[in-house]
Structure 1
Amino acid sequence: MTTFKPADLQAVLLSVLRITAAYMFTLHGTSKLFGFPHSPMFDGLQIMSLYGLAGILEVVGGLLLLFGLFTRPVAFVLSGMMAVAYFVGHAIPNGNVAAPFLNRGEAAALFCFVFLYLSAAGGGKWALDNKRNAG
């Protein structure tokens, strides 16, 4: 019978967190850039706009995180992006910085802190960074 050590399970679950968050994050970008999944809010989106730039970062950064490639720097950049998104898109316009539930900024705040954690912890056991660093 195979038993997992807590450290092994922790490394696997770190990868599961990274993959799940990256997949959901990438969908935000594909919605903006490619209309899938479709959100009427992004119909006619200009690529050279704030939302267009966000979509590019979400797709490129999300895919890099999905595969665990350059996890730490990419996660750090995306964490900063989501901090800006929270304050500029949710907190300041709604006049409620301390209540993400009320300003509809839960996803931005959560992505910000998940990515900040990944920037410190790395990509986990199933990250391509492990192959890149081994050679």
Structure 2
Amino acid sequence: MALYRIVLGLLFACHGAATLFNVLGGPEGGHVPALGQWPSWWAAVIELVGGVLVLLGLGARTAAVICSGTMAFAYFTVHQSHALFPIQNGGEKAALFCWGFLLVAVLGPGRWALSTLLTPSRTPASERA
């Protein structure tokens, strides 16, 4: 699960960085959104920050829920009006990211999460003695 979370977070963070900073091939629409522009700039910030948090496994469940919701919003507001199925309306990435982050939110970040390393183990006192 950890490797899946790391790859998913990295890809999502790269998408946000490309949109915000015109790197890695630039944004999909071809232009960088203006500071604070709704919803493009805010979505890109969520993609970058949420992707990094999921990548690191720091608050991964909460970040994954927010990222999943962002992609659901993108799918239903941008893609759904064009056609019913993602293959027809160009919403495959939004749908895959949405369900992928939902999986991370439900199953957790896995063993290699930064939050696991920062949180002391919770072994019962009877086992420690």
1:55 corresponds to which of 20, 26, 44: 44
| Alpha-carbon displacement from aligned partner over 1:25-57 (angstroms, at most 9, x marks no partner) | 111101111111133624242121111001110
2:74 is aligned with 1:88: no
Counterparts of 1:101 and 1:123, CA distance in 2: 29
Structure number having the greater helix percentage? 1
Unaligned runs of 5+ in 2: 122-129
2:18 corresponds to which of 31, 36, 58: 31
Amino acid at match of 2:74: A
Query: Do 2:21 and 2:32's aligned partners in 1 also have CA atoms closer than 8 Å?
Result: no
Matched with 1:3 is none
> Which stretches of structure 1, 4 residues or more, deviate above 4 A after TM superposition?
none
Counterparts of 2:119 and 2:67, CA distance in 1: 22
Unaligned runs of 5+ in 1: 1-13
CA shift in 2, pair 1:63/1:44, >3 Å: closer
Counterparts of 1:51 and 1:42, CA distance in 2: 12
State the TM-score, normalizing by the size of structure 1.
0.82
**CA displacement at 1:85 relative to structure 2:** 0.6
Query: Do 1:69 and 1:129's aligned partners in 2 also have CA atoms closer than 8 Å?
Result: yes
2:119 is aligned with 1:133: yes
CA shift in 2, pair 1:44/1:77, >3 Å: closer
CA shift in 2, pair 1:44/1:32, >3 Å: closer
**How many pairs were matched up?**
119
Counterparts of 2:21 and 2:117, CA distance in 1: 31
State the TM-score, normalizing by the size of structure 2.
0.86
